[in-house]
Amino acid sequence: MNAIQNRLAVLEAYRPDRHVPGDLDSFWSETLAFFADKPLNDTKIGMEPLFPLADVYDVRYEGFDDTPIAGWYIVPRAEREGKLPCVVTFHGYTGGRGYPERYAQWLMLGYAVFAVDVRGQKGDTGNRLASAHGMTKGWISQGIMDKYNCYYRAIAIDSIKAVEWASRQSEVDPSRIVVEGSSQGGGLALLAAALSDTPAIAVANVPNMCHMDFGMLNSTGSLTELSAFVNEFPDRLDAVLDTLSYFDIMNLAERIRIPVIVSVGLKDTICMPETVYAAYNRLTCEKEIHPYPFMGHEHLGYHNRKTLEFVRRKLG
């Protein structure tokens, strides 16, 4: 067994102990019930498309609170029979929905796309979430001492409501919705798959929000914000870890019942392979993982093709 094979064997057997709060299921049951009937208060405005074969709409909807969440809704104009599959896609940390043309590959497959901002980050969406204490740089330490009013709960509900919005569109087949993203977006795709019965497939590229206690200790990415917060207030470590445990994909993985495809880079220092495998190894659904020994925190064209093949194979 060479060094690469040995590394993969260790990761494939990696099942770290979990801190699963006793009220995890009741917390999410109550949360989902509370927001189930919350109105989307949405708007949809047609835009002048760059591509002549697609209709583009600038969307606003509400999720966790009254923050208007921005999204692009893009529908191929090609002649079609019946309703379309739809990809609900989430961006990486500090990013935004960008420009509509970045989603052209899904349109070429004949799928609609709903690409949404994550609140407060580098998109067109603000953040009206209140916080009872200050934050380190970035967003994820906002409200981190309170699982009911923390940033993670807000973006979880925003993401679930994005799926709800897409499922209600007249062009979309609600039984063929894909949740997709990379890094933060991959974590949100898995979170939506765990908490919503609507998605049919989840695509999680180098996903974040997995095995987050390990990430706080070792990651060079967004979780360094929580490390800095706790470094300033060491007495708050247990409270921070307790909040994270409600949103850690490692603890929610067994709720996912749909096919999942995951990528992981063995040289990734942001979403480290230990964190990805810790969650992946607890998935009990149909699943595929594609490890890339020499890839860091990135998305390879080779794996992009693997993803498209996977989605097309499952949805047509």
Active site residues: 183, 268, 297
Angle of helix 237-245 versus helix 224-232 axis, rounded to 10: 150
Computed from CA positions of residues 3, 222, 65, 124, in that sequence, does the dihedral angle turn out positive or negative? negative
Query: Does 93 belong to an annotated binding site?
Result: yes
CB atoms within 10 A of CB 269: 12
- Are 290 and 263 in contact by the 8 Å Cβ rule? The answer is yes
Angle at Cα 17 formed by Cα 14 and Cα 22, nearest 5°? 140
Task: Give the CA count within 13 Å in the CB-facing half-sphere of 172.
Answer: 24
| First and final C-alpha spacing in the chain | 39
> What does the buried/exposed string (b/e) look like for 88-113 if buried means 16 or more CB atoms within 10 Å of the residue's CB?
bbbbbbebbbeebeebeebbeeebbb
Please state the residue numbers annotated as binding site. 93
Please state the residue numbers annotated as binding site for substrate. 93
